[in-house]
Homo-oligomer: A and B are copies of this chain.
Amino acid sequence: MKNNSYLKGQTALLLVDPYNDFLSEGGKLWPLVEGIAKEVGLLDNLRAITAAARKAGIRIFIVPHHRWEPGDYESWAHPSPDQVAVGRKQVFAKGMWGGDWHPDFVPQAGDIIIKEHWAQNGFAGTDLDFQLKQHGVDKVIMTGMLANTCIEATGRYAMELGYHVTLVKDATAAFSADRMHAAHALNGPNFAHAILTTAELVALLPIE
């Protein structure tokens, strides 16, 4: 069945914001996500999915948030609440450890690194749609951070652009359990074509 399979030519694994500030002990946002991350087994699940994707020949697209630099947002008319907060905390700072890749998710040869997004939606102001098209992709699997911000914004818009969208509810995290519930039980069912666990997803990936 076309829509229940993840063929390597047509499927992309999107890995959103795999930065130390989100995923590593000592990261600026880690304390806010640690509870959920450990509960769902986030790091192990991301390792399992990226390994399974590579083995299946499914290409990985890294979808990174803007790395903070001095002067950011200062001349803007309408920075978002999150941009104001990011600027104050200097989250994902360029050239700093917090804005570097978590060591287990450093891009590898063949991965596509998308241009950095300024807010939540990995398509907005980036080449994500273009790169997906140039690689023949029409199905995206959403993984990374955060369930109700970047993952949801990017997944929602992928559907608006015509892609088949899969959420993986234990390969992401959020600041609270009700945000996870909102992402996967309240909003996700309105736009996502599949909402799976890591184990369910990995079982569906092809063996190359």
Whether B164 pairs with A77 at a CB distance below 8 angstroms is yes
User: Which residues of chain B have C-beta atoms less than 8 A from A163's C-beta?
Assistant: 78, 133
Question: How many interface residues does A have (CB within 8 Å)?
Answer: 56
CA distance A121 to B190 in the complex (A): 12
**Cα–Cα distance between A192 and B80 once the two chains are bound (Å):** 7
Q: Report Cα–Cα, A133/B159, bound state, in Å.
A: 11
- Judge whether A80 and B159 touch: CB under 8 Å: yes
User: Oligomeric state, in number of copies?
Assistant: 4
Contact of A78 among B120, B179, B182, B193 (CB under 8 A): B193
Contact B81 A149 (CB under 8 A): no
Complex Cα gap A191–B86 (Å): 13
CB distance from A117 to the nearest CB of B (A): 8
- A2-B77, A156-B120 as given contacts; A162 in contact with B190, CB under 8 Å: no
Collect the chain B residues with CB atoms within 8 Å of residue A186's CB: 148, 176, 178-179, 182
Complex Cα–Cα for A80 and B161 (A): 11
From B2, B76, B124, B135, A160 is in contact (CB under 8 Å) with: B124
A81 neighbours in B (Cβ, 8 Å): 189-193
22 contacts between A and B (CB under 8 A): A2-B77, A75-B112, A75-B134, A78-B138, A80-B191, A80-B193, A82-B190, A115-B116, A118-B130, A118-B160, A119-B159, A119-B191, A120-B190, A121-B157, A124-B161, A125-B127, A129-B161, A129-B162, A134-B162, A149-B187, A156-B156, A157-B157
Sample of 6 more A-B contacts, CB < 8 Å, known A129-B162, A148-B190, A182-B187: A3-B77, A121-B160, A125-B129, A131-B162, A149-B187, A178-B181
Chain A residues within 8 Å of B, Cβ to Cβ: 2-3, 75-82, 110, 112, 115-116, 118-121, 124-127, 129-136, 138-139, 148-149, 152-153, 156-157, 159-164, 176, 178-179, 181-182, 186-187, 189-193
